[in-house]
Structure formats: C-alpha cells, structure tokens
Amino acid sequence: MTAHFVNDPAALVPEALDGLIGGAGPGRLARLDGYPDIKVVLRADWDRADQGRDRVAVVSGGGAGHEPAHAGFVGPGLLTAAVSGEVFASPSVDAVLAALLAVTGEAGCLLVVKNYTGDRLNFGLAAERARAAGLRVEMVVVGDDIAIPDTPAPRGLAGTLLVHKVAGALAQSGAPLDHVAGAARRVAAGVRSLGISTSGADIPGRRSEQRFVDGSAELGLGIHGEPGVETFALGRDAEIVDRMAAALTDALPDGGDSGAAGGDVVLLLNTLGGLAPLEALVVVCDLLATPLGQRARLLIGPAALMTSMSMRGFSVSALAVDDELARALLANCAAWTAWPGARELGSHDRLRVLPVPTLREAGKVLASEDTAVRAVLTAVTGALIEAEQALNALDAKVGDGDTGSTFAAAARRVLSELDALPLADRSALFARLSELLGSAMGGSSGVLLSILFAAAGSAGSAGSVGSAGSAGSVGSAGSAGSVGSAGSVGSAGDDAPLADALAAGADAVQRHGGAGEGDRTMLDALLPAVRALRDGGAAAAAAAARSGADATGSMEQARAGRAAYVGGQHLRGVVDPGAEAVAIAFTAAATHR
C-alpha cells in the first residue's frame, strides 16, 4: 500500500482542514464547531459588518481529496464557506444545511454543486430545508465533463472553479442574488472540461489503484478514480493536447463563438495533484499552440486546484468569455487562497538577443609581445607536454590516469595560440588563458584552472573583491582562511604584482572548488608557491611548489577530486598528480627566467 503522510485516516480531513485554517493566519478562516460530522470552513471575517451578511454568500463543497478545492478557495472574492465530506464522499445534508444557516444573510446564498448524485441530493435537500427555514438560497449544479458522450448527467470537474470565481467576484462587489446566480448559471452552461491521467488516485488506508500499466494513460477520467473512457499508450504530449483541445472546442456551445467575446475563451489548466510541474509547463506550451489555445484570452494555471489525491494528470477547462466574465475572472480575491489568478494572454516579443558581442568582448584579445612572458609560457607548456606520460602513470595509481594528457592538451593549445596572446597585458593574458584552459581541458580541473586565471586576470576590479570574500562561504557570512585576502588585492588596483594576482586566482579556486590546503590537490603545491613567490621570487616559488607536491605523498586522505574515493593505503607514497603538474610548471618557469 502506498505510503501517505497522514495520522489516523479517520481524522484525515479534519486535520487537513485545521492545517489550512491554522496556516492561513489570524482572521482569515474559521470552521463550524461540528467535527467530525460537520466539516465546514468559512470566512472568519464574514460577521464583520463591512464584509459579510449584507452580501450574497457563495457556498460550495463536496467530497475531500480534491484539495485545495473547496476549502482552499474560501476567502474574500471567492467562497464564503466550503462544506467537506470524507475523501471522495459527499457531505451530509446537515453539514450543508449548517453552512447555509451559518453564512446566509438577507442577501441570500448561492450554492454551487458538482453534478454527482450524492452531492445533488444532499446539497439539494439542504437547500430545500434552508428555504423552508426562510432563507433565500439559489443552487447551480455544474456538469462540465465532456468525457462521456450523450450522458444525461455529466460530471462536475475543475470548470466548477470558474463558477466559484465569477460568483465570488460578483458577490464581493455587492451584486444581488439573482445577478450572482445568473452569472454563475452562464458559466455553468458554457464551461467544458476534459481530464487525462497516467495514474490512479491513491487513497490513504486503501489499496493503491493498480489499473494503470506503465506508459499508459486514461483520457476522460473522473476525479474519484473512475476509469477513463479510453486507455492508450501515451504518445507525444502535443498530440494528446491537440485531441483534448479539439474535443473541447466541439463541445463548447456554438464552438465558443457565442456572445460578445467573438470567440475569446478562458482556459483553465488544472493539475490533478501528482503531475510534475515541469510536465505541466510542457502542456501549457502545447495547449497554447492549439487552435483553441490561439483563441485564449485568459489563462488560469497550471495549478493544482481540483485534484484527485496525487493523480499524475491534468484537466483542461474552456469557457467562452465576454468582458463581464473576464472582469470577474481577473478580479482580485484573497491572495492567501489557492486561486492562482488569471493572466491575460497576447502576442509579445519573447526573445532577447543573446549578448554574444559582449561575450566576445569579455574575451577580446589584442596580441602583444613580452619576450620574458613568452619564454616562461614556452618553458611551462613544454615541460607539461614532456611530462605527459609520467603524470598519466602517476594518476593511474590514484585516479583514472589522464592528468598528464589533460595538462598536455591544455599546454599544446596555449602554445598554438602563443602568437595571438596579449603577452604584454597580464590581465588580458590571464583572461585569455582562462578561456583556453576552460575549453581545452576537460573535467573539473579544467574549470578550476580556468577559474584560477579568470580571477587572477580580474584581480583588482571592485566587483571581484566583495565576492571573493563571500562566494565560497556556504551557509556562512564570512570567508575566513582564504589565502592572501583578495580585498587587499582589489584595493591595489590592476597593477597588482603577479603574486597577488595568482593569490587571488588560488583564492577563487579554493572558494569555488571547495578544497583547501592539505586536501591532497594541486592546491598543496599552488598555495605555498604563491606565498613564496611574493617574498622570494620564482626560485623560492618553485622550491615551495616542489616540497608542497612531495608532501602530498604522505597525505592518506584526499578530500576532493577522484582520489577522494581511493583508500589511504593506495595513496601512501604517491604524489598527487595535480600538485606534481603545478610543481613542474613552477620549476620550468623559474629555471627559464
């Protein structure tokens, strides 16, 4: 049996309604003191002279399991009260009558009922009793389902919500009962709905619905687990949605072309409780592309409004709208209700030019010459290419054996671009190296080296300072322990010396990569080298990198990179290939100065 987040199934509905009432906050919702038999949620402000009683009350309800319908729609501009039964079971006559007696004032009450025999009879008898008690009660029954052709009693589906919204908006505006009821009947007469699902409705405490075969869907099913009128293997969403839209169009009175609307329709996309929001958006995309969608003036949803527990499906409701209905559907209602609002559609420019020129500018380079820099780059890249096999062999012991090839590939790429590089402009050079390494090197090591040079290149721009201190601080406002505070770098401006630039780069690598010194990564060679470089120059940096790399051989716990999955006994005595590559690079740079 499917697991459900419930306590005692018998207390399921009262607890859910209490969650709704408590979660709504003070002064919004209340309930009649009649649990467990009478489950009526009503507006807490309805007795206020400026809010209720003198206005028409709008009451609806039905079985539970369709949340947020109906109690989730109780609020100013929508329902005055909602009567809930147990899961998929009609509320009792007494419960409905209690709701009517509790909220109906001189202005009367509109009772909105979905067309199921139990609801019709219980709500109907309650209405007759309320009238016998002298209340003015109008009742409208909604049967918007088009799944079963020529049925004398079409089911009430999500289209009922459009009746609620229109009636609620008019009632809130102070319209008299006959006007509210008349508009509600217009909506009930005009709205059509069709549903589809790829799963049944699992009810807490009952066996799961095993009717559905993987990959299959049912079209035209109800909201109580009733089987659909057609079962098939689900194909492309666009085809299904086209079929549903066409069926709805055919079922609309006069094809929806009646009235001042001139064919305008409102579409309501209701999800049944378990449909992934990602899929619901695909349905919107396909729905708006249909002829019916092209006629849509208003869209409501996608949203879970009239659900069937956690069914993985949706229903589409369509209604021809004129200006009065559109106004009522667009009217404000209590923002804390489950009403998602209606959105006016229309063609608009949805594309923005990709900032490609700016992207290029970000990496724009003007070649320039600096023989010393050229010598260093030539030496470093040469050394890394020469070390390819050795580094691969080293990596083979603790990883997947490609560190040498990864660095060599990057080195070859840099060599091939040497004449096009802005050798005389360190910031531009580092920015360009960042791009080359990012594209030429695979895996996270490529991204990390790309980050290193990008940060080194931009060291000194105000933007990078604040963020340098913070970006990496997961769940903490500080950035303690970052190498050579980038803040001091930034303040030093673009002429920051090489060491400070590399320090900013190493800092960024730590921030974004999440590793630090001692974690058995390239940082164990890089960080000491950068520190030494500032005070002792290239030779000291090379020596520091070398000893730092060698030290990784005695680190038996890797905290980052693929080696993190390797046991200490395998790591013992093996130098980290990344750190070794860094040592090779600094050594080459120093000896060829």
Contacts to a copy of itself from residues 546-575, by CB under 8 A? 559
In contact, 272 and 315? CB cutoff 8 Å: yes
At 467, is the secondary structure helix, strand, or coil? helix
User: In angstroms, what is the C-alpha Rg of the chain?
Assistant: 35
Q: Which is nearer to a copy of itself, 298 or 391 (CB)?
A: 298
Cβ-based neighbour number of residue 43 at 10 Å: 23
Residue 116: phi and psi, rounded to 5, are -125, 145
CA neighbor of 456 nearest in space, from 480, 474, 421, 432: 432
Q: Is residue 30 part of the contact set for a copy of itself (CB under 8 A)? A: yes
> Among 127, 180, 436, 581, which residue sits at the site for a copy of itself (rule: CB under 8 A)?
127
Q: Is residue 333 part of the contact set for a copy of itself (CB under 8 A)? A: no
> Among 50, 150, 353, 535, which residue sits at the site for a copy of itself (rule: CB under 8 A)?
353
Question: Binding marks (x or -) toward a copy of itself, 396..435, rule CB under 8 A?
Answer: -------------------------------x---x--xx
Min. distance of Cβ 275 from a copy of itself in angstroms?
A: 6
> Among 214, 371, 565, 569, which residue sits at the site for a copy of itself (rule: CB under 8 A)?
214
CB within 8 Å of 404: residues ≥ 6 apart = 387, 388, 389, 390, 391, 392, 393, 394, 395, 577, 581
CA neighbor of 452 nearest in space, from 433, 465, 467, 439: 433
> Among 257, 279, 324, 370, which residue sits at the site for a copy of itself (rule: CB under 8 A)?
279
By DSSP bridging, strand 137-142 and strand 296-304 are unpaired
Instruction: For tokens 């003007």, name the residue.
Output: 366
> Among 58, 82, 140, 501, which residue sits at the site for a copy of itself (rule: CB under 8 A)?
140
What pairs with residue 81 in β-bridges?
Answer: 42, 59
Site for a copy of itself in 289-318 (CB under 8 A): 299, 302, 304, 307, 309-310, 312, 314
Record the tokens describing residue 187, joined without a space: 């909506």
Site for a copy of itself in 472-491 (CB under 8 A): 472-477
Q: Is residue 450 part of the contact set for a copy of itself (CB under 8 A)? A: yes
In contact, 266 and 329? CB cutoff 8 Å: yes
Min. distance of Cβ 369 from a copy of itself in angstroms?
A: 22
> Among 281, 372, 393, 420, which residue sits at the site for a copy of itself (rule: CB under 8 A)?
281
**DSSP 8-state assignment for residue 113:** E
Min. distance of Cβ 216 from a copy of itself in angstroms?
A: 6
> Among 10, 22, 557, 573, which residue sits at the site for a copy of itself (rule: CB under 8 A)?
22
Q: Which is nearer to a copy of itself, 249 or 450 (CB)?
A: 450
Q: Which is nearer to a copy of itself, 173 or 444 (CB)?
A: 444
Q: Is residue 92 part of the contact set for a copy of itself (CB under 8 A)? A: no
Site for a copy of itself in 259-278 (CB under 8 A): 273-278
> Among 10, 121, 246, 393, which residue sits at the site for a copy of itself (rule: CB under 8 A)?
121
> Among 89, 148, 229, 288, which residue sits at the site for a copy of itself (rule: CB under 8 A)?
288
Sheet holding 81-87, edge to edge: 39-43, 81-87, 57-64, 109-114, 137-142
> Which residue type does 417 have?
E
Q: What distance in Å separates the CA atoms of residue 48 and residue 295, rounded to the nearest whole number?
A: 42
> Among 58, 59, 107, 141, which residue sits at the site for a copy of itself (rule: CB under 8 A)?
141
Q: Which is nearer to a copy of itself, 200 or 584 (CB)?
A: 200
Q: Which is nearer to a copy of itself, 67 or 402 (CB)?
A: 67
> Among 466, 493, 568, 573, which residue sits at the site for a copy of itself (rule: CB under 8 A)?
466
Cis status, amide bond into 36, omega within 30 of 0: yes
> Among 56, 79, 83, 138, which residue sits at the site for a copy of itself (rule: CB under 8 A)?
138
Q: Is residue 105 part of the contact set for a copy of itself (CB under 8 A)? A: no
Min. distance of Cβ 495 from a copy of itself in angstroms?
A: 16
Min. distance of Cβ 381 from a copy of itself in angstroms?
A: 22
Min. distance of Cβ 395 from a copy of itself in angstroms?
A: 19
Record the tokens describing residue 230, joined without a space: 């057609």
Min. distance of Cβ 373 from a copy of itself in angstroms?
A: 18
Q: Is residue 578 part of the contact set for a copy of itself (CB under 8 A)? A: no
Q: What distance in Å separates the CA atoms of residue 407 and residue 560, rounded to the nearest whole number?
A: 18
Q: What distance in Å separates the CA atoms of residue 80 and residue 386, rounded to the nearest whole number?
A: 80
Site for a copy of itself in 32-51 (CB under 8 A): 32-34, 38, 42, 44
Q: Which is nearer to a copy of itself, 108 or 379 (CB)?
A: 108
CA neighbor of 586 nearest in space, from 513, 536, 520: 536
Q: What distance in Å separates the CA atoms of residue 428 and residue 364, rounded to the nearest whole number?
A: 8
Size of the site for a copy of itself (CB under 8 A): 174
Record the tokens describing residue 410, joined without a space: 């990057």
CA neighbor of 331 nearest in space, from 111, 184, 166, 183: 166
| Interface region with a copy of itself, contact rule CB under 8 A, candidates 344-352, 387-395, 418-426, 534-542 | 344-352
Q: Is residue 325 part of the contact set for a copy of itself (CB under 8 A)? A: no
CA atoms within 13 A of residue 30's CA, in its CB half-sphere: 12
224 carries an active-site annotation: yes
Q: Is residue 501 part of the contact set for a copy of itself (CB under 8 A)? A: no
At 28, is the secondary structure helix, strand, or coil? coil
What pairs with residue 141 in β-bridges?
Answer: 113
> Which residue type does 51 have?
Q
Q: Is residue 330 part of the contact set for a copy of itself (CB under 8 A)? A: no
Q: What angle do CA 409, 413, 418 make, to 5 degrees?
A: 145
In the set 66, 224, 348, 570, the catalytic residue is 224
By DSSP bridging, strand 109-114 and strand 313-320 are unpaired
Give the chain's end-to-end CA distance (angstroms, integer): 73
- Report, as residue numbers or ranges, the catalytic residues: 224
